[in-house]
Each structure stands twice: as C-alpha cells, then as structure tokens.
Amino acid sequence: MLINLKELFTGKRETLSLDCALDFSNLEYQGNHPFAQPVRVSGEVSADADVVILRAVADFVYDSACDRCLAEIHRQMRLPIDRVLVTSLTDEDDEFVLVDNYQLALDELVLEELILSLPTKNLCREDCRGICPICGKDINMGLCGCRNHSTDPRLAVLEQLTDQTD
C-alpha cells in the first residue's frame, strides 16, 4: 500500500490519518503463517518543523505453534510504530525511513516492524513442559512414565561410569 506524502513534505498539509487493514496471510516465517488475520494499522503521519513522523499502532493476532508441545498459539498483540520519514539520506541510518518520490510503502514498513517484534521462542505458557521425546505425550497433561526408565543415549557412557563405582 503506497501512501502519497508529498503534501506533508511540501508543507501543504500537517497531518494524514491512517486506518487500514494489511494482509500478510501468505507470509511464512519459522515454518508458520503468523498473520492469518489482517493486521489493523491506525495512526497518523504528521509534519512539524520540517520533520515528517509516522506514529501508528499495529493490532494483530499472532499465530504459531508452541516450540515445546506444539499446541496452537493465538496471541492478540499490539505494536507501536514510531518512525521519522525523510526524502534523502546522507548516511545509512536505521532511525530514518527513506521515502522515494514522496511515496511511503506502508505494508513493507509494517511487515519489517512486525517481523522484528516477533518472539524468538514461542511458548503456549511460560512453564510449558513440552512433549515426551519417546512416546510424544504432552507432559503438560500428565507424566507418561517413559522418562523414568530410559537414559538419553548421549549420556549412556556416564551411566556406565556410575555403575562401575557401585
């Protein structure tokens, strides 16, 4: 979605309201489609003292699978977006967003902000115990009994050492 900001940069207008829904449902990230529902973006772009600033909020539902137990996660999230918009840059600076021909690619900017804000570890809850590596039972629902009788093959050598000392 391109937004024409020429009137803001030339001083003919002071503010421009934003209220739109962006579709990122085709995006695949870490094996998931995290934005199955449209991302709602609302806010404004304002010009003040030769500075054009985007102040917006992205409201979205983050969909994922728990990294420990594979349960589905549907988390309502809100991301504030505050960026300074410029028409030219002298140095590479991540604080400023370069706007070519007074056109802001809002969907690209919002998608970048969303991806940077996503959690690196997806958990259904902080104390998720995961699944049993042997039988696959969700340990959050109760113990399966497999863990008590099996030794991790990587630790078998250590177990032999303890048997020799007995």
Q: What are the pLDDT digits (tens) for 7-65?
A: 888 888 888 899 999 999 999 988 888 999 999 999 999 988 778 899 999 999 999 99
E strand or H helix that includes residue 21: strand 15-22
- Rounded Cα gap, residues 105 and 91, in angstroms: 21
What pLDDT is attached to residue 93? 65
Instruction: Write out pLDDT tens, residues 96-132.
Output: 887 888 888 899 999 999 999 988 899 999 999 999 8
Query: What whole-number distance in Å separates Cα of residue 152 and Cα of residue 128?
Result: 21
If one compares 157 and 71, the residue with the highest pLDDT of the two is 71
E-assigned strands of 68-165? Answer: 72-86, 96-98, 103-105
Parallel/antiparallel/unpaired status of strands 96-98 and 72-86: parallel
Backbone angles phi, psi at 134, to 5 degrees: -100, -55
* Cβ neighbours for 131, distance < 8 A, ≥ 6 positions apart: 68, 69, 70, 137, 138, 139
